[in-house]
Amino acid sequence: MIKEEHIYVGIDLHKETHTAVILDCFNNKLGEITFANTPAEFPKLVRKVKKYCTDGKEPVYGLENAYGYGRALAVWLIDRKYIVKDVNTAISNRQAKHRGAMYRKSDSDDAQAIALATITMLDKLPDACPNDAYWSLGQLVNRRDNIMRHRIRLTNQLHEQLCIAYPSYKVFFTDIGRPTALYFWSKYPSQKYLKGKGVEDLREELVPISHNRCSTKTCEKIMDAIKSDKVKDNEHQDARDVVTKGIVSDLQHYEKQLQEVDTELEKLYHSLGFTLTTIPGVNITTAVKMLAEIGDIKRFSNASKLAQFAGIAPINNSSAGKGTDKASKQGNRRLQATIYFLAVQMIQVSAKGKPRNPVFRAYYERRIAEGKNGQQVLICISRRLVNILYGILKSGTEYRMPEIKESNIDTDKSN
């Protein structure tokens, strides 16, 4: 794309209104408009921009996160054959910082920073492709992340209650969030509810909940641990029992929600025909997290652009012939973190000494022997994983474990 042939529109997106700043290829501000985030208002933006599209110039719209509040606008513009670029927040923030606009924060300054980022990185920015399937996938992944955060918070609150009511609770329920454990806490929030309860009575009650996994021996362990605690009757325990029951009820609710979301994610993943789970260490949860951030792979013309989007292309900081490879602080941080975590899994070795991915493990050991530190090598492995992900998504083929050869990982591309 030739920059002089376009007018650039940076749009700061919000729930109720959007602010657009229009620049020419020389970074001169031509105009600005604020309009409501409704399809009925979108033509106002196009009419405003057309005033500056002289000499056959074509507008390029840069949207910061075209899959959130700006999704409706992105879809509307794409349907009308306009060029729409997805601008990563880190890139627009860098432009704002260079301009000094970080010290005078406003919607107009943010929109101008987005427009400048669109001009500067025109050929590197991915096209916005707010496909319904990927959008729905992203919504489900966000919902799952929210549920997991709630579960962690509630589990911590439950630990706080149980350490008083059942000091030895970890002896008989190592995972207090399991269905059997949650049932036990809901029925017996404190020890006073167990008075007169025998081992066999407890076993008969817990067997159906545990799917026949709760044996007499397990129930004996529960009763013995409780007896050895010698917890006295605490004052106002009834009030704390209400808290415990409420926390357990919330955890059971979120557990049900999580199962529903995971079921829907699995259905959507398989319906779209993805094959990322053929990579060792990639389950459906990891796969959909990456897909929700990547979106339609067609918006990336090659693996390098996907690496730039993820902020995984290693940056070499050097002087006088000496330097180190470091991870980029730009790009999609969620995608970057997921791929880096996957790189860690690729070099893991089982208790029996068998590596999960022999090729990556051999590469890791060889680079460590050459003097690289672990983080540097993991950055290189992450970059190679981007190539693999791009190839699998582009071709729809399954992952095949290559033979261990020096040439399997191109060190020139990985560094």
336 belongs to a structural domain: yes
Q: Are residues 141 and 124 in the same domain?
A: no
What 3-state class would DSSP assign to 305? Answer: helix
Report pLDDT digits (tens) over 37-56.
999 999 999 999 999 999 89
- Whether residue 21 contacts residue 10, with contact meaning beta carbons closer than 8 Å, is answered with yes
Q: Are residues 169 and 281 in the same domain?
A: no
Please compute, for residue 200, the number of CA atoms within 13 A of its CA located in the half-sphere on the CB side: 0
Domain closes at, from 63, 95, 130: 130
271 belongs to a structural domain: no
41 belongs to a structural domain: yes
Buried b (16+ CB within 10 A) or exposed e, 281-310: bbebbbbbbbbbbbbbbebbeebbbbbbbb
Domain count, the chain: 3
Query: Which pLDDT score is estimated for 351?
Result: 84
- Whether residue 262 contacts residue 211, with contact meaning beta carbons closer than 8 Å, is answered with no
- The helix-helix angle for 303-310 and 284-294 (nearest 10°) equals 100
Residue 140: count of CB within 10 angstroms of its CB:
19
Domain closes at, from 78, 100, 130: 130
d(CA 60, CA 183): 57
Query: Which pLDDT score is estimated for 83?
Result: 95
225 belongs to a structural domain: yes
Q: Give me the CATH number covering residue 68.
A: 3.30.420.40
Q: Are residues 316 and 251 in the same domain?
A: no
Domain closes at, from 76, 95, 130: 130
Query: Which pLDDT score is estimated for 96?
Result: 62
Query: Which pLDDT score is estimated for 199?
Result: 92
For residue 411, name the pLDDT band (cuts at 50, 70, 90): very low
114 belongs to a structural domain: yes
212 belongs to a structural domain: yes
Beta bridge partners of 9: 22, 61
Q: Is the dihedral of CA 110, 115, 119, 121 positive or negative?
A: positive
Q: Are residues 280 and 212 in the same domain?
A: no
Q: What is the pTM of this model?
A: 0.74
113 belongs to a structural domain: yes
User: Could you tell me the residue range of the domain that residue 356 belongs to?
Assistant: 276-414
User: Does the pLDDT at position 180 exceed 50?
Assistant: yes
For residue 100, name the pLDDT band (cuts at 50, 70, 90): low
147 belongs to a structural domain: yes
Q: Give me the CATH number covering residue 259.
A: 1.10.287
Q: What percent of the chain has pLDDT over 70?
A: 90
Q: Are residues 122 and 142 in the same domain?
A: no
